[in-house]
Copies of this chain bind each other. A is one copy, B any other.
């Protein structure tokens, strides 16, 4: 259905700004803004060095304020997966948005077309991915309907369309080669659509632990993309851009000579899953910047229980890790259900933590964890001694359609 209405920040939240991080009640999603800024600078520098565009995926942070920071740092715009996410970004002043996913429902395509015209009229632009003839025809129909419904004399907007090829993810996209060429011809039949290039994202490669295997996997994906590109250009049609990549594999796409744009998003917050990848020596060193602040609410002889369960953090990519700061890893986190986490000593001699003890969890997966929260608390000066600098609204939280 429609996207969620933006809720005003409560007074108690506004009053938190300027107070010590110790005043943040639990559970809460907290961003270490200093670590986030360092990750942002490292990524911007990496892309400058490799002379490659970057269009970070906003499905990770779901925040227009953070998207604007990324654009200020050099990003060309953002990717999103859903129409409602695109609307939330545009509402928040992000003018260059790419829906790197298929949209086929006429109800949603009407919103896509409306947003394309709106952004074009404001000097921005909207792009989208396709992988089917019916998707292309419905998109063109929606763009034409939106133009007719628009103001007299308004310039007819054109939407950039990327053909998605499946380079190993096994999800959306047509096979590399002929099937993609055929869709390019379909796109070019419609004046309201502009063929912009290829979407070639390999999601599974992101989580291959071996750096060498990740590089080899992306090398094969790049070959598939390059082959498809040559076949399209052999028919006299220029391929403007090949876009893809994620935080796990971005060094491989950047070095491929095939990809012209990186979509990596998670680097900004870094989750426990990505931290388990063997780091490619060429990859910037990204730090954990997203944490769930929690505290012990029950303590027994052999375990304690904290107030953060999987209603506070997503567990699709594994359970959160208890952040150890500079000391040794002391506590293991086990799933205690929606509302509870079970904490056990991770080493001999470590005591079960007492009631009230504050802990910081590193979520297993950023994107769906952020989606569980209405806002993130931005802290500067460190999680322990720092202060609340700002409240970051999760504008696209629950943006499902």
Distance (whole angstroms) from the CB of A345 to the closest CB of chain B: 16
Distance (whole angstroms) from the CB of A270 to the closest CB of chain B: 17
Report whether B4 and A16 are in contact in the complex, using a CB–CB cutoff of 8 Å. Answer: no
Q: Which residue of B lies closest to A129 (CB)?
A: B298
Report whether A299 and B335 are in contact in the complex, using a CB–CB cutoff of 8 Å. Answer: no
Report whether B102 and A25 are in contact in the complex, using a CB–CB cutoff of 8 Å. Answer: no
Report whether B340 and A171 are in contact in the complex, using a CB–CB cutoff of 8 Å. Answer: yes
Question: Which residues from chain B contact A400 at a C-beta distance below 8 Å?
Answer: 27-28, 311-312, 373
Verify if A342 is at the interface (C-beta below 8 Å from B): yes
Verify if A97 is at the interface (C-beta below 8 Å from B): no
Stretch from A131-139, A254-262, A323-331, A378-386 contacting the other chain:
A131-139
Question: Which residues from chain B contact A102 at a C-beta distance below 8 Å?
Answer: 297-298, 305
Stretch from A7-15, A143-151, A182-190, A231-239 contacting the other chain:
A7-15
A315 to B310, CA, bound (A): 10
Q: Of residues 307 to 356 in A, which have CB atoms within 8 Å of B's CB atoms?
A: 307, 310-312, 314-316, 335-340, 342, 355-356
The tally of residues in A whose CB lies under 8 Å from a CB in B reads 75
A6 to B3, CA, bound (A): 15
Copies in the complex: 2
A-B contact pairs, 8 of them (CB 8 A): A5-B8, A5-B9, A25-B401, A132-B355, A170-B342, A171-B298, A315-B316, A338-B371
Stretch from A36-44, A66-74, A103-111 contacting the other chain:
A103-111
Question: Which residues from chain B contact A356 at a C-beta distance below 8 Å?
Answer: 104-105, 134
Contact of A311 among B28, B174, B315, B368 (CB under 8 A): B368
Q: Of residues 75 to 90 in A, which have CB atoms within 8 Å of B's CB atoms?
A: 81-82
Q: Decide yes or no: A338 and B171 within 8 Å by CB, A102-B297, A398-B372 being known contacts.
A: no
